[in-house]
Structure 1
């Protein structure tokens, strides 16, 4: 398995896509139920293959990631051969990026002296989608990139 198996919730949300996936392998609902009962290893393998297909599709379409913690924000722009990272550090410990009022303050005052910015690019040392997957597994979330682009323009 290249990534990880989807969660039960993710499979539930993708049940129609999973049915289509099974249909491409000439497996109907009745046969799927038989496979699950009589050959759980094969059923597990089908779930793993489907999970990898879904992850590959999602990761290929992913261009931006964000990871926000109390005093730090990591923004990532994922190009084909490199990942550009903007790191934002909040030095005012009385504020938190996780607090919506403080986050709004940050958006309105991005040049405040209590905020530091760092920007760097890293070539993908492994396959791009695996790099993105690792960032997601570490807590990053897929985003539209609005904050990345805004901050990038601000600090460039």
Structure 2
């Protein structure tokens, strides 16, 4: 397995897609129920393959991810061959996880208590695997507005 199996909730939300996936392998509902009952390891493998397909599709379309903590933000732009990072650290007592703290940062990005660093590097492994690792460590897929806002400020 390349990534991790989708959660029960993710499978439920992708019920129709999973049914089409099984149908593409000539597995109907009755056969699927039989496989789950009699060959749970085969059912598990089908779910793993489907999960990898879904993750690959999602990650291929992912261009930005971001991770916020109480006093820092890590913003990533995921290009084809390299990843760009803007790291923001606030050196006074503020909570970026709260609306008030986040709004303060967006209104005061050049304040003396805000440190901004930028860097880029080629992927160490496969692009999608590195993005998946960031997500597993708590990052969220984003549209990139915050990354682009800070990128404009520091360019």
Tell me what 1:103 maps to: 102
CA-CA distance at 1:71 after TM superposition: 0.5
**1:66 paired to 2:66:** yes
1:99-128 CA-partner distances (Å, limit 9, x unpaired)? 111111111111111100000001101000
Tell me what 1:129 maps to: 128
Alpha-carbon distance in structure 2 between the residues aligned to 1:150 and 1:39: 52
Runs of 4+ in 1 over 6 A off after TM superposition: none
- Within 5 Å, give how 1:24-43 maps onto structure 2: 24-43=24-43
Q: What is the TM-score with the length of structure 1 in the denominator?
A: 0.98
Structure 1 runs not aligned, ≥5 long: none
CA-CA distance at 1:96 after TM superposition: 1.0
SS of equivalent to 1:5 = coil
Tell me what 1:151 maps to: 150
Tell me what 2:16 maps to: 16
SS of equivalent to 1:23 = helix
> How many equivalent pairs are there?
155
Alpha-carbon distance in structure 2 between the residues aligned to 1:45 and 1:99: 41
